[in-house]
Amino acid sequence: MSSATNSNSEKRGSLENLVIELTKDARRASLEVAVLSTEKKNAILLSLAELLEKNRGALITENKKDIEDGKKSGLSKALLDRLKFTPERIDAMIDGVKNVAELPDPVGEEIESTVRPNGLDIRKIRVPIGVIGIIYESRPNVTIDCAILCLKSGNAAILRGGKEAYYSNIILSNIIQQSLVANDVSVAAVQLIPTTDRAALNILLKQNENVHCIIPRGGENLIRFVAEHARMPVIKHYKGICNLYIDKAADFDLAEKITINAKCQRPGVCNAIENLFVHRDVADDLLPQIANSLVDNDVEIRADQATAKILNENKISYKNASEEDYYEEYLDLILSIKIVDSLEKAIDAINNYGSAHSDAIITKDENAARKFMSGVDTSTVYWNASTRFTDGFEFGLGAEIGISTDRIHARGPMGLRELCTYKYFVFGNGQIK
């Protein structure tokens, strides 16, 4: 064996040990944070808010290293902007921490209860999951968001950020650990994996004994990689291919208003629509109105043949849609339009093209609405409202760690409760079987 191979395998061995020890420490810490009082958890958060305030200078200094490295490696202007700490963004981070301190503690809430004929009193109580791994990219404020939501819900967190935010994430995790130390809580309650080596991620994803759930937040490739390699459950926060269906019984002005809002108000977010389906019976009358409004709002229309015919007749500009376009998350001022023959065809189309995120129907017909809402297999289905409301804050959760496009454990906006599982507490007085 050459000495180079030897040293590589030693390096791999020590990385493996590092990650495994880190997950064991997290597991131990999870048992400690699971039983912390609400007051104690809030005290950690308030310490954290203070420490962020005190370390403003250091945060900007460390963040500048990431910005410089990003410029050298040719990151896009948009990515550099997402990476950057400004005084306002540090303000927002501090406010976010204080806000989570004020939210109700989900741990200990009674979900259901029953007293059995034998007298056993069975209570289903919300408790933390345990150790949650969060894999994310670029934006360093995610480090704080995830840490505080995991802490408040009594979980230990293992964070693995992107290499672009390396220095920013290191200082943030140091500050978080200082706030744990200040409150006599194990620093292993929140740990950042101190390397962005892909091999470390691979090792982490195999630690199903000590890591109970992985939440990947990032691009499609990252999420696919995690789902493929993880041995523990993964709650995917996948892309948002959201759809709007305008039924034959739609109010035209309402349909126009919601289409424009759902597409244009903030096209770069996951709950903006990418596809519009219109019932054939109203297409001739309705589409020109909607399409003109879209064009006025700088939206590029991608039209199927039937839509194209109507747009041509009305001299409205468009491009021809390919079949692939309907599977596309544009995150931009582009909208694919298709005419459908029936409500059923609209449901089929959405179940085929959508990503089970958010979908809406515009109609005055309650039967059509109920059928649509039952038939569309998605996290959130709207009747006469914009898809843009799928969000933890809009849902009243007070915060969110993301929007699950999965269906196991949590679906749609995930707040503090969704970071919990439950445990049955059974009170007896000597019952035997």
User: Which spans of this chain sit near its own copies (rule: CB under 8 A)?
Assistant: 31, 34-35, 114, 116, 120, 122, 129-130, 208, 212-213, 227-228, 231, 233-235, 254, 257-258, 261-262, 265, 351, 373-375, 377-386, 388-390, 394-396, 406-409, 411-412, 421-433
Q: Return left, alpha or beta for 384; rule: phi > 0 is left, psi -120 to 50 is alpha, else beta.
A: left
Question: CB-wise, 238 or 318, nearer to its own copies?
Answer: 238
Three-state helix/strand/coil letters over 235-264: CCECCCCEEEEECCCCCHHHHHHHHHHHHH
Q: Report the side by side order of strands in the sheet with 156-160.
A: 190-192, 156-160, 131-136, 213-217
Question: CB-wise, 178 or 261, nearer to its own copies?
Answer: 261
The residues, ordered by sequence, that sit 6+ positions from 18 with a Cβ below 8 Å of its Cβ are 195, 200
Question: CB-wise, 227 or 282, nearer to its own copies?
Answer: 227
CB of 390 to its own copies, least distance (A): 8
CB of 25 to its own copies, least distance (A): 15
Question: CB-wise, 134 or 234, nearer to its own copies?
Answer: 234
Three-state helix/strand/coil letters over 291-358: HHHHHHCCCEEEECHHHHHHHHHCCCCCEECCHHHHHCCCCCCEEEEEEECCHHHHHHHHHHHCCCCE
The residues, ordered by sequence, that sit 6+ positions from 272 with a Cβ below 8 Å of its Cβ are 240, 242, 262, 263, 265, 266, 331, 387, 388
For 200, other C-beta atoms within 10 Å of its C-beta total: 18
> How far is Cα of residue 330 from the mean position of the Cα atoms in its chain?
18
CB of 363 to its own copies, least distance (A): 12
CB of 168 to its own copies, least distance (A): 30
**Token pair in block for residue 231:** 């041995």
Question: CB-wise, 59 or 234, nearer to its own copies?
Answer: 234
CB of 373 to its own copies, least distance (A): 5
CB of 219 to its own copies, least distance (A): 18
Question: CB-wise, 9 or 342, nearer to its own copies?
Answer: 342
CB of 86 to its own copies, least distance (A): 25
**Token pair in block for residue 367:** 């039967």
Question: CB-wise, 55 or 405, nearer to its own copies?
Answer: 405
The residues, ordered by sequence, that sit 6+ positions from 232 with a Cβ below 8 Å of its Cβ are 133, 205, 207, 208, 211, 212, 213, 214
Question: CB-wise, 48 or 217, nearer to its own copies?
Answer: 217
Q: Which H or E run includes 126?
A: strand 121-128
Question: CB-wise, 42 or 358, nearer to its own copies?
Answer: 358
CB of 411 to its own copies, least distance (A): 6
CB of 404 to its own copies, least distance (A): 10
The residues, ordered by sequence, that sit 6+ positions from 261 with a Cβ below 8 Å of its Cβ are 386, 388
Q: Which H or E run includes 148?
A: helix 141-152
